[in-house]
């Protein structure tokens, strides 16, 4: 397999990119400006070194702790629990939510061997206690695993003075927050229900 075929084969493994798109991208890179292609290559190569997980919230960041965790302009008494970094990004982009985040990087899924430990829920509990957080907003997806995770959090924080709520999604069950438009996310946040 020559380099061009190898590139097409690798590109087609990316989400949302089939063989056709991969071929189109590879051929367009061949006729692109050399600096552009080199920059693209460097950015991809450096990604695993430069982008790390924030040790406090689990989000992707270039500096640890991340800009949200170290910001003095955020409401440090509020924490929003999301499944994936992109969920935090979507909620943050609405401008509606000014608190902190905790990224689970997954959901409780016994069949896949993912339990509370893998999601760092002890770390979350410690942080909530240590920083005197008063409100926790659960923004897991409305799936079986998302519900299980929400229930587990409810139990974990039972008896603690923290106000616990879950966002109202208004999305079809099983729908990913990724596909929701900003307005829906704002509405879901505003209509969050106390647990
Ligand atoms: Zn952080």
For the ranges 52-66, 114-128, 165-179, the maximum mean pLDDT occurs at 52-66
The pocket of ion ligand 1, defined by CB under 5 A, consists of 54, 56-57, 65-66, 69
For 130-155, the pLDDT digits (tens) are 999 999 999 998 889 999 999 999 99
103 Cα: distance to centroid of ligand 1 (angstroms):
9
CA separation for the pair 117, 139 (Å, rounded): 19
Share of the chain above pLDDT 90, in %: 69
For 61-114, the pLDDT digits (tens) are 999 999 999 999 999 999 999 999 988 998 998 899 999 999 999 999 988 899
**C-alpha closest to that of 114 among 103, 125, 105:** 105
Length of the chain, in residues: 195
CA separation for the pair 110, 112 (Å, rounded): 5
114 Cα: distance to centroid of ligand 1 (angstroms):
22
Dihedral angle sign, alpha carbons of residues 57, 61, 64, 67: negative
Q: Cβ of 166: how many Cβ atoms within 10 Å?
A: 22
CB 142 within 8 A of CB 173: yes
Q: How far is CA 55 from the centre of its chain?
A: 14
57 Cα: distance to centroid of ligand 1 (angstroms):
4
Sheet order of strands, 135-138 included: 99-103, 75-82, 135-138, 163-166, 193-194
DSSP characters over 130-164: HTT--EEEE---SSHHHHHHHHHHHHHTTTSS-EE
8 Cα: distance to centroid of ligand 1 (angstroms):
35
Q: What is the pTM of this model?
A: 0.80
């Amino acid at each position: 397999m020559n380099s061009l075929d190898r590139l097409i084969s690798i590109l087609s493994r990316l989400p949302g990119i089939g063989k056709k798109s991969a071929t189109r991208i590879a051929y367009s890179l061949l006729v692109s400006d050399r600096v552009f292609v080199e920059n693209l290559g460097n950015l991809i190569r450096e990604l695993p070194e430069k982008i790390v997980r924030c040790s406090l919230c689990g989000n992707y960041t270039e500096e640890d702790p991340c800009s949200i965790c170290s910001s003095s302009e955020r409401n440090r008494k509020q924490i929003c629990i999301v499944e994936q970094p992109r969920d935090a990004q979507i909620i943050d982009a609405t401008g509606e939510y000014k608190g902190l985040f905790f990224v689970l990087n997954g959901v409780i899924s016994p069949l896949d061997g993912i339990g509370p430990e893998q999601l760092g829920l002890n770390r979350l509990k410690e942080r909530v206690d240590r920083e005197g957080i008063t409100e926790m907003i659960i923004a897991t997806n409305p799936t079986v695993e998302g519900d299980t995770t929400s229930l587990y959090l409810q139990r974990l924080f039972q008896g603690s003075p923290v106000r616990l709520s879950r966002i109202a999604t208004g999305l079809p069950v099983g729908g990913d927050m990724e596909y929701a438009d900003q307005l829906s996310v704002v509405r879901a946040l505003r209509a969050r229900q106390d647990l």
